[in-house]
């Protein structure tokens, strides 16, 4: 009731009647929350911390719109009302700019904005020039690094919070607020109330993975405080045929499942991940239809997760294989020696294909012929920074082939950046002739070669699925991953009536505690495309037999018997007892815990206004104390009436005429009363 009365009093009472329809609090009139922003957050490895964090209560900075170099110089030299929050356009978001801003020590936040009407920058990759530089088998050539566009923004500890938005209304609001309050009379800015932005993205973890895990003391608390979580998720595996109990000869076909970026919730990884991923699924789909009779050689398709962070998925898989612990495939222990060769789908795209090979094997030549790769596009002893690095580290004699669209340097200008999206890939759903067609061709040829290697026979020319069917499948998959997860294929492969989100799936691996949606959907899709369809089963029978119940072609439900399985993709560093986090053998990436990620804009009062209210308040309070004391002391004189002249009066008078004799006092009192 008290709350309600207070609510209502707002309508009634004078002061609060500033707004006629005051369903809002004063707070809502002061602050304008900025919606649709993505935060930069903090990650750790064994030795360092990376990313951004605000102060615990939020970092407040005066808005300054950066449009050119001159604005940064102004902040460096002439700014008076700091600390500032700078609003950067995308083409200014470079390492150089950020370092300059950091060096001013006058920055409390960076809001990266993208005006979608403007052209995107020619390159933006926050990844290192040598991705996963300190891990893997083959070191990167520093003179000719894999990722020439890399700015290594991801590998920096920023002292201020950063947010990204492409919400144009937010951008307009900030601009108009800046123009109205901040932009004029820059020299005397500090005298005015200014438009400011508060960023809240406080990160609980600090220093490095080791110390933040140590701080989570499970022994002392029943409900321990978490500070950070290891990165990780699940790998997805599908064997072409059930494995043999004893000896196996395996051709691994892998692709990575995760991308990364500087901002939470946006890691499209289009050219980096999705192209290879969908090609692998299409290959598996086609090979499954070829109905190969497996004899000695088997094929295992694996989608590896967390590869952007020092090969979490592949290193864990190799670790399990080495320790005879890998039994995701039908409960049979697979060993690293069983693996004969690894074919990886790297970054793919339109046009020319390159093969990065290691070792000498027939498989390389066969793939070269099948994919019609010219001799100078076959790079021997070349190992791009992908999953094969982990396999080669365990067994340097392994034959590996990475099929990619790049030679010694990436063609993708947005590797692990937020711009590595559908637009940069140039994908158009209705046009299956270019990208989808090229990827379908790769998938088909690789599947045919695999068929020959498994059976030793020529591949049968299938009527279904034909090349154009695979094309359509790839086109549909690209749509699912690049444009919206609310698509036909994901609906068909999810349980009926599951709500799918209507935006691009973030492919960031995330923390192992929270299952990744992209992984689940991908695993289901692979199961749906390669599994056996049991039309005669209904939902209860399907669940009783521990099979997967999916939407099916008309979304009404279909039982799928599939051998797709998952294995943990958490770095061995977190399962080995007493692992030295600084040794650099395994990935040690962790992600900090946070509570809120929010940005709001408001008017920051000038120091003058604050001083004025403080001085006015203190002055009035002080004067009133003196005045009331005075009036109260002289109440007898001021209120010249009988009823006041009682006890109060005499004591006050006694004090006032303290020097008189007692007789005098009495007479004076009496005379005053008579008045």
Partner 1 sequence: MTVMDFFGCAFLAFGPPLAMFTFTIAAEPIRIIILIASAFFWLISLLLSSILWYAVVPLQENLAFGLVFSVLFQESFRYLLYWVLRKAERGLEKVTTTHVADSRHIFAYVCGLGFGFMSGAFALVNVLADAVGPGTMGLLQGTEYFFIISAATTLCFILLHTFWGVIFFSALDKKNWGHIIWVVGTHLFVSCMTLLNRYQAYAASLLSAYIVLVITTVLAFKIAGGWIQTSILHFQRN
Nearest to 160 by CA among 83, 95, 98, 108: 108
Which region, judged by CB under 8 A, interacts with partner 1, from 315-323, 405-413, 591-599, 635-643? 635-643
How many Å is the Cα radius of gyration of the chain? Answer: 35
Spatial CA neighbour of 276 closest among 252, 299, 239, 303: 303
Q: Does 673 bind partner 1 (CB under 8 A)?
A: no
Q: Does 625 bind partner 1 (CB under 8 A)?
A: yes
Length of the chain in residues, anyone? 675
Segment interacting with partner 1 (CB under 8 A) among 70-78, 206-214, 481-489, 597-605: 597-605
Regarding 514 and contact with partner 1 (CB under 8 A), the answer is no
Q: Tell which residue, 338, 236, 256, has the closest CA to residue 297.
A: 338
Question: Which residues, 6 or more positions from 459, have their beta carbon under 8 angstroms from its beta carbon?
Answer: 290, 448, 451, 452
Is residue 610 a contact residue for partner 1 (CB under 8 A)? yes
How far is C-alpha 332 from the chain's CA centre?
Answer: 36
Question: Is 17 a residue that touches partner 1 (CB under 8 A)?
Answer: yes
Please select the residue that binds partner 1; options are 27, 499, 546, 674, rule is CB under 8 A.
Answer: 27
Single out the segment in contact with partner 1 by CB under 8 A; choices: 315-323, 438-446, 503-511, 638-646: 638-646
Please say which residue, 196 or 447, places its beta carbon nearer to partner 1: 196
Q: How far is the CB of 188 from partner 1 (least distance, A)?
A: 16
The footprint of partner 1 on residues 188-207 (CB under 8 A) is: 193, 195-196, 198
Under the binding rule (CB under 8 A), the answer on residue 603 touching partner 1 is yes
The answer to the question of residue 637 lying near partner 1 (CB under 8 A) is yes
- List the x/- string, 370-409, binding to partner 1 by CB under 8 A: ----------------------------------------
> Total residues at the site for partner 1 (CB under 8 A)?
71
In the complex, what is the shortest distance from the CB of residue 37 to partner 1, in angstroms, rounded to a whole number?
17
Q: Map residues 254-293 to x or -, x wherever contact with partner 1 holds by CB under 8 A.
A: ----------------------------------------
Q: Which of 116, 495, 628, 673 binds partner 1 (CB under 8 A)?
A: 628
Candidates 488, 646, 667, 673; binder of partner 1 (CB under 8 A) is 646
Nearer to partner 1, 7 or 76 (CB): 7
Question: What residues from 523 to 552 belong to the interface with partner 1 (CB under 8 A)?
Answer: none
Tokens describing residue 569:
């993709």
Residue 13 binds to partner 1 (criterion: CB under 8 A): yes
Q: Which among 287, 377, 299 has a CA at the least distance from the CA of 334?
A: 299
In this chain, which of 605, 654, 660, 669 binds partner 1, going by CB under 8 A?
605
CA geometry: angle 399, 412, 420, nearest 5 deg: 115
Q: Which of 614, 664, 666, 667: binder of partner 1 (CB under 8 A)?
A: 614
Give min distance, CB of 672 to partner 1, in A. Answer: 9
Q: For the CB of residue 600, give the shortest distance to partner 1 in the complex, in Å.
A: 8
634 binds partner 1 (CB under 8 A): yes
Of 82, 88, 77, 89, the residue nearest 108 (C-alpha):
82
Interaction of residue 640 with partner 1, rule CB under 8 A: yes
Check if the beta carbon of residue 83 is closer than 8 Å to that of residue 189.
no
Q: Minimum distance between the CB of residue 8 and partner 1, rounded to whole angstroms? A: 4
Cβ-proximal residues to 35 (8 Å cutoff; 6+ apart), any chain: 167, 170
Complex with partner 1: residue 185 or 544, whichever CB lies closer: 185
Is 56 an interacting residue with respect to partner 1 (CB under 8 A)? no
Residues in CB range of 481: below 8 A, 6 or more apart? 270, 274, 277, 278, 504, 505, 507
Omega of the bond prior to 83 within 30 degrees of 0, cis? yes
Query: CB–CB of 441/286 below 8 Å?
Result: no
Strand 297-304 versus strand 339-345 pairing type: unpaired
Backbone angles phi, psi at 231, to 5 degrees: -70, 150
Residues numbered 197 to 256 that lie near partner 1 (CB under 8 A) are 198
**Site track for partner 1 across 60-99, x = CB under 8 A:** x---------------------------------------
- Token duo for residue 495: 């349980």
d(CA 178, CA 632): 52
Cβ atoms of 524 and 505 within 8 Å: the answer is: no
Which residues are bridge partners to 106 per DSSP? none
């Amino acid at each position: 009731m008290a709350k309600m009365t207070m609510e209502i009093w707002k309508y009634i009472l004078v002061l609060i009647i500033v707004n006629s329809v005051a369903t809002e609090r004063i707070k809502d009139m002061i602050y304008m929350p900025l919606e649709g922003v993505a935060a930069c957050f903090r990650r750790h490895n064994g030795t360092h911390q990376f990313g951004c964090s605000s102060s615990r209560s939020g970092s407040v900075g005066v808005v300054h719109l950066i449009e050119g170099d001159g604005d940064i110089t102004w902040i460096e030299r002439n700014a008076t009302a700091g600390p500032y929050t700078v609003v950067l356009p995308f083409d200014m978001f470079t390492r150089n700019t950020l370092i300059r801003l950091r060096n001013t020590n006058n920055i409390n936040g960076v809001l990266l904005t993208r005006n979608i009407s403007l052209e995107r920058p020619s390159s933006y990759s926050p990844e290192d020039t040598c991705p996963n530089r300190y891990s893997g088998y083959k070191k990167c050539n520093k003179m000719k690094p894999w990722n020439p566009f890399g700015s290594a923004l991801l590998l920096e500890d920023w002292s201020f919070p950063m947010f990204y938005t492409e919400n144009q209304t937010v951008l307009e609001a900030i601009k108009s607020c800046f123009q109205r309050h901040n932009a004029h009379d820059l020299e005397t800015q500090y005298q005015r109330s200014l438009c400011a932005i508060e960023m809240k993205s406080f990160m609980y973890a600090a220093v490095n993975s080791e110390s933040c895990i140590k701080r989570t003391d499970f022994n002392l608390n029943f409900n321990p405080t978490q500070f950070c979580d290891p990165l990780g998720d699940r790998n997805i595996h599908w064997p072409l045929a059930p494995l043999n109990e004893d000896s196996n000869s395996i051709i691994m076909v892998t692709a990575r499942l995760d991308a990364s970026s500087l901002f939470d919730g946006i890691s499209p990884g289009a050219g980096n991940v999705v192209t290879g991923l969908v090609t692998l699924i299409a290959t598996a789909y086609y090979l499954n239809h070829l109905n190969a009779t497996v004899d000695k050689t088997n094929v295992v398709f694996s989608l590896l997760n967390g590869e952007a962070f020092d090969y979490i998925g592949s290193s864990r898989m190799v670790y399990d294989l080495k320790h005879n612990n890998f039994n995701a495939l039908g409960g049979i222990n697979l060993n690293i020696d069983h693996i004969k060769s690894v074919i990886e789908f790297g970054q793919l795209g339109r046009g020319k294909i390159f093969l990065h090979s290691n070792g000498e094997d027939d498989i390389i030549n066969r793939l070269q012929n099948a994919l019609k790769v010219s001799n100078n596009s076959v790079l021997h002893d070349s190992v791009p920074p992908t999953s094969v690095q982990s396999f080669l580290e365990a067994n340097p004699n392994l034959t590996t082939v990475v099929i990619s669209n790049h030679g010694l340097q990436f063609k993708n200008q947005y590797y692990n950046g937020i711009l590595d999206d559908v637009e940069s890939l140039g994908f158009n759903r209705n046009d299956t002739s270019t990208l989808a067609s090229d990827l379908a061709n790769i998938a088909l040829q690789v599947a045919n070669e695999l068929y020959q290697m498994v059976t030793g026979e020529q591949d049968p020319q299938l009527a279904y699925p034909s090349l154009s069917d695979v094309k359509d499948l790839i086109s549909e998959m690209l749509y699912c991953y690049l444009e919206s997860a609310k698509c036909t294929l994901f609906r068909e492969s999810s349980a009926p009536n599951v709500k799918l989100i209507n935006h691009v799936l973030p492919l960031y691996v995330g923390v192992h505690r929270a299952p990744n949606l992209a992984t689940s959907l991908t695993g289901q899709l692979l199961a749906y495309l390669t599994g056996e369809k049991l039309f005669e089963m209904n939902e209860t029978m399907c669940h009783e037999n521990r099979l997967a119940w999916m939407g099916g072609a008309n979304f009404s439900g279909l039982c799928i018997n599939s051998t797709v399985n998952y294995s943990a993709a958490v770095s061995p560093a977190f399962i080995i007892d007493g692992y030295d986090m600084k040794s650099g053998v395994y990935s040690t990436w962790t992600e900090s815990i946070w509570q809120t990620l929010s940005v709001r804009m408001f008017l920051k009062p000038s120091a003058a206004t604050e001083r004025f209210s403080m001085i006015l308040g203190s002055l009035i309070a002080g004067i009133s104390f003196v005045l009331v004391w005075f009036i109260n002391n002289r109440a007898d004189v001021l209120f010249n009436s009988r009823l006041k002249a009682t006890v109060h009066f005499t004591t006050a008078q006694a004090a006032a005429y303290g020097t008189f004799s007692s007789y005098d006092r009495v007479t004076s009192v009496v005379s005053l009363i008579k008045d």
